[in-house]
Chain A
Amino acid sequence: AQTVTQSQPEMSVQEAETVTLSCTYDTSENNYYLFWYKQPPSRQMILVIRQEAYKQQNATENRFSVNFQKAAKSFSLKISDSQLGDTAMYFCALTGTASKLTFGTGTRLQVTL
């Protein structure tokens, strides 16, 4: 079975600062993919970033980057230059050959002035 753990229920960061959200996972598969999704109050799940496990290079998307530590089964998300619009729930998720996503319980991020 696959599991995803997010140990930070809530985080707060000031606008323009950097914040890191933690995620650890467990899977017995060798080929898998990791995702961070953002869920604002509108409920819409929005893909933030995606990482293929076979790639050593950490994925980046503009202000968002990950620190993927395969041996440690860790997949943290770094948000640089935080903006008020980044306020949302952030979910870490994992998928393998079964296609379905396994989600963590989420981290609520509040960006303040």
Chain B
Amino acid sequence: GAGVSQSPSNKVTEKGKDVELRCDPISGHTALYWYRQRLGQGLEFLIYFQGNSAPDKSGLPSDRFSAERTGESVSTLTIQRTQQEDSAVYLCASSSDYLRTDTQYFGPGTRLTVL
């Protein structure tokens, strides 16, 4: 019955380093989303996984960003060669997606700071 969890809660890295952010969705949820929230702004869609279908990567801002999901469980968002502009909160959400517009439930996010 746990909610969406994300780790780490905070991550500080140096420019040029790679980072991995992890998301554990609600058990049984087939759909998983990643969003980015820059300081003082709304959320921007990054990528969407639905079951075994090909992911919707239309929101990824550059080829430095990639994500994987193992079956219907954990997802990892990887940012290579981080830049200062990547500093943001990265939020993960999951939904049962029985209907494509099912409510998305969010994790607490990972705050990424690139120095």
Binding site for B on A (CB under 8 A): 4, 31-33, 35, 37, 42-47, 50, 52, 91, 93, 95-106
Binding site for A on B (CB under 8 A): 31, 33, 35, 41-45, 48, 50, 56, 59, 89, 91, 93, 97, 100-101, 103-109, 111
Q: Are A45 and B97 in contact (CB under 8 A)?
A: no
How far, in whole Å, are A55 and B41 apart by their CA atoms in the complex? 30
Whether A96 lies near B91 (C-beta < 8 A) is no
Contacts of B93 in A (CB 8 A): 45, 101
Tell me the complex Cα distance, A50–B97, Å: 15
User: Are B100 and A104 in contact, CB atoms less than 8 angstroms apart?
Assistant: no
Q: Roughly how many angstroms separate A4 CA and B93 CA in the complex, as a whole number?
A: 19
* Complex interface: chain B residues within 8 A of A43 (CB): 89, 91, 108-109, 111
A77 CB → nearest B CB, Å? 15
Partner of B101, one of A37, A47, A96: A96
5 nearest interchain CB pairs? A45-B106, A103-B42, A100-B45, A33-B101, A103-B43
Bound-complex Cα distance A3 to B115 (A)? 32
User: Of all chain B residues, which has the CB nearest A4?
Assistant: B42
Q: How far is the CA of A9 from the CA of B59 in the complex (A)?
A: 25
Q: Which of B59, B103, B108 contacts A42 (CB under 8 A)?
A: B108
How far apart sit A94 and B106, CA to CA, in the bound complex (Å)?
15
Q: List chain A residues, Cβ under 8 A from B41.
A: 105-106
Indicate if the CB atoms of B100 and A100 lie closer than 8 Å.
no
